[in-house]
Structure 1
Amino acid sequence: MRREILFGCLLLMFGSLSIALGAFVGINIGTDLLNLPSPEQVVAILRSHQIAHVRLFDADNHLLSALSETEIEVMISVTNEEVLGIGQSPAAAAAWINKNVAAFVPSTNITAIAVGSEVLSTIPHAAPVLVPAMKNLHKSLVSSNLNSQVKVSTPLSMDLIPKPFPPSAATFNSSWDSIISGVLDFLKSTDSFFMLNAYPYFGYVQSSGIFPIEYALFQPLSPVKQIVDPNTLFHYDSMFDAMVDATYNSISAYNLSVIPILVTETGWPWAGGANEQDATVENAETFNNNLIKRVLNGSGPPSQPAIPMNTYIYELFNEDKKPGPLSEKSYGVYFSNGSSVYTFSLDTSGGATANASGGFCVAKKGSDTSSLQDGLNWACGPGQANCSAIQSGQPCYMPDTIENHASYAYNDYYQKMRSVGGTCDFGGTAMITTVDPSNGSCIFTGSTNSSIGGTLTPAFGPEGPPGNASPGQLPDIVVLLLATLVLLIV
């Protein structure tokens, strides 16, 4: 039995959108930015970063055409503006399906339709037609013989659960009972999934210090900070798990069998205004990389451990045209030229961001500053590393820290000298990572980002501000796969 479970976990890493087939992390694609790449360039970015699942906030036909023959699984969306018309007219629903689904499948791998976005929270006047809209679309899919391939659901917000902790006592806002009951009945009858938008960033900020930030960032909690549901005694290692479990418990109040939850949005902003001190590059990098590790281990939250928490990160690009605070414009994990805002990878093959040498040489976090300075001086002097990129005004100068500059210099030396015995040590201040530390316009020696994996020109729009990241670590997914295989053999 243990072997079967472990083998199942291995399969989860390569699953499709079907909840039953495995765990995945996808990404949302918003288009509200000044320098939006062309559809072909967007797809090139997706492919170069090995992104296999995307959610569109509309059904842009140009992008759907560009996604043809890529095998990328695509969730398209009915915009909030379209919900009323589709909910009131079966003919409008049929026309929408014909234009945006039937015209593209099977060459474009459309697997789901998100009907609106947080309709009950953002456009409550449309609530009465939400379920009719979902039913009209599903009937049109049945007529086109596409209902087995394309699921229909609607993303709902955690705002609908007034008190999400403890998860075991969570319930939906009772004023929406009839609508939510209709949504759940529809999902159950069509074998679909519950779409949830869950942001620990907001949960943490709004908790006013009740919860430690480690809890929001998937970081280990000290014994005195353990989060335990007093009713079930379940331990929650992350706010994300607790949010998903709060939703499962809210669904259970309707006396239905379990409906799998698909997290359609989550993320953490990497920049914010003066009153948004938790919106930082370090926190965003930590959250998203830990989220990926958490989801790809294939297990669910404490109450539903057998159901993977498939998730879409918000979002691919920074949408600088969006209204609101700076944080709203700063969720993107890539700049519009395809380079990473910070160390980040969804590559489940483990090879897209690592160079042929087997890794990049970077400074160890927390190393003594004077030792790092000595290592930097040696690399740029006797080591003959090319340190021009970390000079003032150059792409890798910012952030202006010893750790950042040492990482660049260490890596440049290592990539050039490893074939003749050069090592990555520098007095114990260096380490090998398989994750490409390049960010923005700062491209580390040996990186494939200089040509975006050979599939793009170096840039097709203004690059974001360089140097927003420190060389963090995301464990190589290949290591996780090998570890699983070892367990299978044992």
Structure 2
Amino acid sequence: MTNFKIWIQALILFCGVFFNSAGAFIGINIGTEVSNLPSAADIVAILKAQKLTHVRLFDADSHMLNALSNTGIEVMVSVTNEEVLGLGESASAAAAWINKNVAAYVPSTNITAISVGSEVLTSIPNAAPILVPAMNYLYKALVASNLNHLIKVSTPHSMDIIPRAFPPSTATFNTTWNSTIFLILQFLKNTNSFYMLNAYPYYEYVKSGGIFPLDYALLQPLSSVKQIVDPNTLFRYDNMLDALVDATYYSIAAFNFSRIPIVVTETGWPWFGGANEPDATAQNAEAYNNNLIRRVSNDSGPPSQQAIPINAYIYELFNEDQRPGPVSEKNWGVLFTNGTTVYDISLSVSDDLPNFSSVFCIAKPGGDERLLRDGLNWACGAGRSDCRAIQQGQPCYFPDTLQNHASYAYNDYYQKKWNSGGTCDFGGTATTTTVDPSYGSCRFTGSSNASTGAVFQPPAFGPIGPSSGSSKNLVHSVLVVVMISTLFLLNMNLRNIP
């Protein structure tokens, strides 16, 4: 093979790596224990309407895989727990599974990952010895089909295999599973795959018995004075999901493995529960999932791994009303089966994200003056708000009240920092509003008519990263054109290469 051909292959490989690292995404889990489950075609139509780009199936249903054909939606198929035993005992059974459920559908159906079982170590511990063999057999079958570079193999774990997740820096896996976990991590490292994590702040909050604030579990970013601080690293955690993900990274590091990214394969919040489940409410579910989408849109990782974005699959698309267990188990869906939302939510990391240029942070009327003054001083100091406009002689000095000055400072901080975890809290003295508080020549940051300071322009996000309005996407687009043009020209001459 000539050097020219080698160069072509390297370029194609670079393209694949480039696109696979383009940005964070929100996916959705699709369960099937649903009364009056829509047809596969209708489900795909709903996915398209919601602009979802990633789905996880709890099986490898042929109807869904056919319906997802030619949609471009990235699909994670699953080996059920009932299937794991058979595949772990037979390489031929694993090869047959790949041929039937994967090779038969790609490339028209964009299958990118295989989830081997679900929380096997904690749900069917007797299957632990054959879990890694099943993963290995499936991977070897992908190699035989020349699909191993396109499709990753992994297995989801619950947080239950980490006995103490707080503080994150001291977290370790349950030693009962040491040998199996080591083999899993070794497999993920060797195959360039990722760790699948099912992380539910809802359950962690309920188990904590009030140790953690509800806002922390709902991913409502906390003010700096309320954030949870890891005493060993001094990393600040303003939401529980980041802490759970970091606890897992530290647990992986305890086995001397690194650079294994984590994908959150399940997370969410129930919107209805029984009498003994007071926190399973539509209001909390709406807050959690919208905050999750906003968090993912930051395209960043937790404090210890900020360069690795958090990708997450929401649990789940529809209410699985046929599931056993408490009332909440039946009410995790974000959509009804007719495609309407259970509560106000936009599921894609896209231009459907809330337009924060029309959301303002102001001081609550009648707030405690001492707390307001503390909040104002912090915003203009450590918070780095631009408070020049509320100085004497400046446009926003009058009315010369603590509430007015605090509102301006709070809002300036919020508009600049919300996309990196900043919150509108300030010790409980602040609240958000969609009513522009600007007046006269005093323009609050974020106002469409702002004349003082910089007008806040929130980034818009597409399915895999920032939209065409950002410099990052501009570079992405230019590289795409260059790559495609180069490959096209190379392809025209490829026949003449000896």
With normalisation by structure 2, the TM-score equals 0.69
What SS does structure 1 have at the residue aligned with 2:196?
A: strand
Deviations 1:415-461 (A, max 9, x none): xxxxxxxxxxxxxx9769xxxxxxxxxxxxxxxxxxxxxxxxxxxxx
- Could you tell me which residue of structure 2 aligns to residue 214 of structure 1? 215
Aligned letter for 1:278?
D
Structure 1 residues 430 and 21, CA gap change in structure 2 (3 angstroms): closer
- Could you tell me which residue of structure 2 aligns to residue 285 of structure 1? 286
Is the counterpart of residue 55 in structure 1 residue 53 in structure 2? no
- Could you tell me which residue of structure 1 aligns to residue 338 of structure 2? 337
Q: Which has the larger radius of gyration?
A: 2
- Could you tell me which residue of structure 1 aligns to residue 74 of structure 2? 73
Aligned letter for 1:62?
H
Q: CA deviation at 1:486?
A: 10
CA distance, structure 1, for counterparts of residue 150 and residue 28 of structure 2: 20
Deviations 1:112-137 (A, max 9, x none): 00000000000001000000000000
Q: CA deviation at 1:220?
A: 3.2
The answer to whether the 8 Å contact 2:34/2:321 transfers is: yes
Deviations 1:43-69 (A, max 9, x none): 000011111100000000111000000
- Could you tell me which residue of structure 2 aligns to residue 123 of structure 1? 124
- Could you tell me which residue of structure 2 aligns to residue 295 of structure 1? 296
What SS does structure 1 have at the residue aligned with 2:38?
A: coil
Structure 1 residues 255 and 486, CA gap change in structure 2 (3 angstroms): closer
The answer to whether the 8 Å contact 1:19/1:310 transfers is: no
Deviations 1:128-156 (A, max 9, x none): 00000000000000000000001000001
Deviations 1:170-220 (A, max 9, x none): 000001000000000000000000000000001111111111011111213
What SS does structure 1 have at the residue aligned with 2:137?
A: helix
Aligned letter for 1:145?
N
What SS does structure 2 have at the residue aligned with 1:312?
A: strand
CA distance, structure 2, for counterparts of residue 18 and residue 178 of structure 1: 35
- Could you tell me which residue of structure 2 aligns to residue 261 of structure 1? 262
What SS does structure 1 have at the residue aligned with 2:59?
A: coil
Deviations 1:226-276 (A, max 9, x none): 200000000001100000000000000111222100110000000010011
The answer to whether the 8 Å contact 1:268/1:331 transfers is: yes
Q: How does 1:169-184 map to 2 (within 5 A)?
A: 169-184=170-185
The answer to whether the 8 Å contact 1:87/1:131 transfers is: yes
Q: How does 1:236-275 map to 2 (within 5 A)?
A: 236-275=237-276
The answer to whether the 8 Å contact 2:25/2:349 transfers is: no
Structure 1 residues 327 and 366, CA gap change in structure 2 (3 angstroms): farther
What SS does structure 2 have at the residue aligned with 1:21?
A: coil
Deviations 1:305-330 (A, max 9, x none): 00011110000000000001111111
CA distance, structure 2, for counterparts of residue 182 and residue 486 of structure 1: 38
- Could you tell me which residue of structure 1 aligns to residue 111 of structure 2? 110
Structure 1 residues 342 and 365, CA gap change in structure 2 (3 angstroms): farther
CA distance, structure 2, for counterparts of residue 223 and residue 303 of structure 1: 18
Q: CA deviation at 1:350?
A: 2.3
CA distance, structure 2, for counterparts of residue 122 and residue 32 of structure 1: 18
Q: CA deviation at 1:294?
A: 0.5
- Could you tell me which residue of structure 1 aligns to residue 34 of structure 2? 33
What SS does structure 2 have at the residue aligned with 1:28?
A: strand
The answer to whether the 8 Å contact 2:91/2:137 transfers is: yes
Aligned letter for 1:150?
I
CA distance, structure 1, for counterparts of residue 73 and residue 21 of structure 2: 18
CA distance, structure 1, for counterparts of residue 362 and residue 345 of structure 2: 17
CA distance, structure 1, for counterparts of residue 222 and residue 283 of structure 2: 18
CA distance, structure 1, for counterparts of residue 27 and residue 195 of structure 2: 16
Structure 1 residues 478 and 26, CA gap change in structure 2 (3 angstroms): closer
The answer to whether the 8 Å contact 2:467/2:473 transfers is: no
With normalisation by structure 1, the TM-score equals 0.70
Q: CA deviation at 1:477?
A: 4.0
The answer to whether the 8 Å contact 1:19/1:307 transfers is: no
What SS does structure 2 have at the residue aligned with 1:54?
A: strand
Structure 1 residues 91 and 366, CA gap change in structure 2 (3 angstroms): farther
Q: Among all aligned residue pairs of Structure 1 and Structure 2, give the percentage whose two residues are the same amino acid.
A: 64
- Could you tell me which residue of structure 1 aligns to residue 65 of structure 2? 64
What SS does structure 1 have at the residue aligned with 2:185?
A: helix
Aligned letter for 1:238?
N
CA distance, structure 1, for counterparts of residue 459 and residue 317 of structure 2: 21
- Could you tell me which residue of structure 1 aligns to residue 99 of structure 2? 98
Structure 2: gaps of 5 or more residues = 1-15, 366-432, 437-457, 476-498
The answer to whether the 8 Å contact 1:120/1:127 transfers is: yes
- Could you tell me which residue of structure 2 aligns to residue 311 of structure 1? 312
Q: CA deviation at 1:349?
A: 3.9
Structure 1 residues 196 and 40, CA gap change in structure 2 (3 angstroms): same
CA distance, structure 2, for counterparts of residue 322 and residue 367 of structure 1: 43
Q: CA deviation at 1:225?
A: 2.5
CA distance, structure 2, for counterparts of residue 59 and residue 320 of structure 1: 21
- Could you tell me which residue of structure 1 aligns to residue 148 of structure 2? 147
- Could you tell me which residue of structure 1 aligns to residue 236 of structure 2? 235
What SS does structure 1 have at the residue aligned with 2:302?
A: coil
Structure 1 residues 179 and 17, CA gap change in structure 2 (3 angstroms): farther
Deviations 1:18-57 (A, max 9, x none): 7633210100000101110000000000011111100000
Deviations 1:455-479 (A, max 9, x none): xxxxxxxxxxxxxxxxxxxx99469
Aligned residues: 367
Structure 1 residues 239 and 430, CA gap change in structure 2 (3 angstroms): closer
Across the aligned residues of Structure 1 and Structure 2, the Cα RMSD in angstroms comes to 3.0
CA distance, structure 2, for counterparts of residue 478 and residue 243 of structure 1: 25
